[in-house]
Structure 1
Amino acid sequence: MSITHLGKTDLKISRVGLGSMPLAINGRPTREDAIKVIHRTLDLGITLIDTADAYCADENDKNYCEKLICQALQTYQGSANINDIVVATKGGLVRPGGAWETDLSPSRLRQAIRQSYDSLGGQKPIPLWQLHDSPQDEKYTLKEIFEPICEAVQANLIQYVGVSNFNLEQIKEAQTYVPIHAVQNVFSLFKRGAETDGVLKYCEDNQLTFLAYSPMGGRRKHKKLNKDKFLTNLASKYNCSTYCIVLAWILSKSKCIVPIPGASQITSIEDSVKALNIHLTQEDIQSINDHTFT
């Protein structure tokens, strides 16, 4: 398994992580099957599992995925060292009636961090806690938003901090309040804004880990990859799936990138790991860069 470090820290993580959202939202597998997916993930050598308190059906189901991961780790009997597993969670979204809404009120975040800490076992600091979204209005300043986060770091509830869906200026401001070690933004063949908005370059220059979420384009886009003749031809050339081609391309973009493809089936995470052994030629990388995906 290819290993890198989380930002400038000594914390080691695999170059590909598991995005756990499909294990917890509507259409999710049974709890038993979901745990099997996590156990297989660990067997494959993946040491990074990304989750969130909002990965659930609705507010009545809050912290479902965190508790699921905790149970999976507690019941794991394979060869991986559980102490090496890095669970990265997020807070800042709420799920009223199953919807997705941003709530960054300091009191709400303070409660969310404590609940995530408890849901993940309450025995050690959360390895990486990330603010799930950037402010959608001017109700709270970033300084106010980060007050409970800084408190949680000082209280040893959180080990390291990251941000998600932040632009460059917001990342820079966040770093004035607490060290930021990871940025989790969307990056796929369909959405490549991080290459042009300065975020990816900033992460490279400042040794921040860029966690690429929705690397296949999400639920609405990923099926299109298997219908793209250009991609299917490349997949045939490298004797792999189109998804492996996409992950290999993302990995080629920067050493700071760690894609976190979602998986609700064992075969999906098994396929994702294969991308680490695919080395695209520069010509193929350029061809993918130039190809239009819609």
Structure 2
Amino acid sequence: MATQPKLPAIALGTWSWGIGDAGGDQIFGHHLDESDLRPVVDAAMQGGLTLWDTAYAYGAGDSERILGDLLNDYARETYTLSTKFTPQLATDDQAVTEMLAGSLKRLKTDYIDIYWIHNSDDVARWTPKLIPLLQSGQIRQVGVSNHNLAQIKQANQILGTAGFKVSAVQNHFSLLDRASEQEGILDYCRENDIKFFAYMVLEQGALTGKYDMVHPLPADSSRGNVYNPMLPELTKLVQRMQAIGTTQDATVAEVATAWALAKGTLPILGVTKPAYVDSAKRALAVKLSANEIRDLEALADATHLDTHGGWEHSI
């Protein structure tokens, strides 16, 4: 069994890069290309944040293409690649191999460090198809995303028949969505040496302090449609995050990230500017007390908001 790569404490997400179906323009209201993002990659690589998370499903490969172009300036062993097979995009039983081949080409590499099954559609059908790819070395580790506890255990059992295991779980996890903790997934990961990747820690910007009722998220994006109606209910939570941040010279986003780190997770933070890379690094120094964590979680619970994505199955 391959050893798990040594990972930075934070991964950098690229969902908002590029354009196209489910790409950065549609979801986030961004229109970013290589010229916009090269300074981001350079800042991250120079700052030691070298774990990159993407997927074919992000802009029908556009995110992967941009990331591959920009990382081509760096030696392959200096960064870690995380990308995904999405079952809903499968057209036949060869889809895993075919989708991986496309990802390898766009990312300009001959192996993927962590290859994810993007959601839990038909665990029994798709999980076994990763075994030959592990055996060939085309993928080094397997992760499962948007799986509940029973499905994670099922995938682990399937891989175990060939001497492999689930190495990572990637689920929505934030102050506003703690289902993976409440349903025992975080405990299972700790007990089985599985790294838990937390995505949407900042709830697509709603937990950064940047947006409020006067300054809403981009109205022409899907995130604006989802989160702008929630902004009034988020006021008290964001104010408490601001107060905590003031004591440590930290932003609201850095407090949200510090909370996810305190829960033992590896946050995935979307980055579109070099300043966001700097903020991710600063978040590593923010330490929350047990009382502060309880306060934040109580205020989050009091919002009664449901930020569960339409693509997510029930945890």
- Per the shorter chain, which TM-score range? 0.7 to 0.9
Equivalent residue, structure 1, for 2:63: 65
Return the letter of the residue paired with 1:91. Answer: F
Whole-Å separation in 2 of the counterparts to 1:49 and 1:270: 16
Once the two structures are TM-superposed, the CA of residue 219 in structure 1 deviates from its matched residue by 5.0
Q: Which one-letter code corresponds to 1:288 in the other structure?
A: L
Query: Alignment length, in residue pairs?
Result: 263
Partner of 1:121: 108
Q: CA RMSD in A?
A: 2.1
**8 Å CA contact 1:182, 1:208 repeated in 2:** yes
> Deviations for 1:187-223, whole angstroms, at most 9, x for unmatched residues?
0111111111111110011110000001011256653
1:55 counterpart residue number: 58
> Taking structure 1 as reference, are residues 75 and 155 closer, same or farther at Cα in structure 2, changes over 3 Å only?
same
The counterpart of 1:248, out of the listed 254, 258, 275, is 258
Q: CA contact under 8 A between 2:72 and 2:108: conserved in structure 1?
A: no
How much does 1:9 deviate? 3.2
Deviates more, 1:45-54 or 1:221-230: 221-230
Q: Per-residue displacement from partner, 1:121-178 (whole Å, max 9, x unpaired)?
A: 243x21110011111xxxxx42221232222222321111101000000000101222
Range with greater deviation from structure 2 (155-164 or 26-35): 26-35
1:46-66 deviation digits (Å, cap 9, x = unpaired): 12111111111xxxxx32222
* Unaligned stretches of 5+ residues in structure 1: 1-7, 57-61, 94-100, 136-140
1:265 is matched with which residue? 273
Partner of 1:195: 181
2:241 partner SS: helix
Distance 1:251-1:104 versus aligned 2 partners, 3 A rule: farther
Counterpart of 2:201? 215
Shift of 1:71: 1.6
2:80 corresponds to which of 70, 86, 91: 86
Question: Aligned equivalents of 1:40 and 1:151: distance in 2?
Answer: 36
Equivalent residue of 2:137, what SS?
Answer: coil
For the Cα contact (< 8 Å) 1:232–1:242, is it kept in 2?
yes
Is 1:167 equivalent to 2:148 in the alignment? yes
Distance 1:142 1:107 in 2: 15
Secondary structure in structure 1 of the residue aligned to 2:269: coil
- Take 2:206 and 2:244, find their aligned partners in 1: how far apart are those partners? 22
1:183 aligns with 2:169: yes
Q: Secondary structure at the match of 1:259?
A: strand
Matched, 1:21 2:24: no
Q: Percent identity?
A: 25
Q: Which runs of 5+ in 2 are unaligned?
A: 19-23, 160-164, 212-230, 306-315
Structure 1 equivalent of residue 299 of structure 2: 291
Mean Cα deviation higher: 102-111 or 244-253: 102-111
Q: What does 1:28-39 align with in structure 2 at a 5 Å threshold?
A: 28-39=31-42
Q: Which residue identity lines up with residue 174 of structure 1 in the other structure?
A: A
What amino acid is aligned across from residue 97 of structure 2 in structure 1? Answer: R
Structure 2 counterpart of 1:281, one-letter code: S
Check conservation: 1:152, 1:158, Cα contact below 8 A: yes
TM-score, length basis structure 1 = 0.83
CA change 1:102–1:167 in 2 (3 A) is: farther
After the TM superposition, list the runs of 4 or more consecutive aligned residues in structure 1 that deviate by more than 6 angstroms.
none
Give the equivalent residue in structure 1 for 2:98: 111
Instruction: Note the C-alpha offset of 1:268.
Output: 1.5
C-alpha displacement of 1:67: 2.2
2:44 maps to which residue?
Answer: 41
1:200 maps to a residue whose letter is L
8 Å CA contact retained: 1:235, 1:245: yes
CA–CA distance in structure 1, aligned partners of residues 91 and 139 of structure 2: 17
Secondary structure of 1:46's match? coil
AA at the equivalent of 1:260: I
Whether contact under 8 Å (2:207, 2:252) holds in the other structure is no
Work out the CA distance in 2 between the residues paired with 1:229 and 1:10.
39
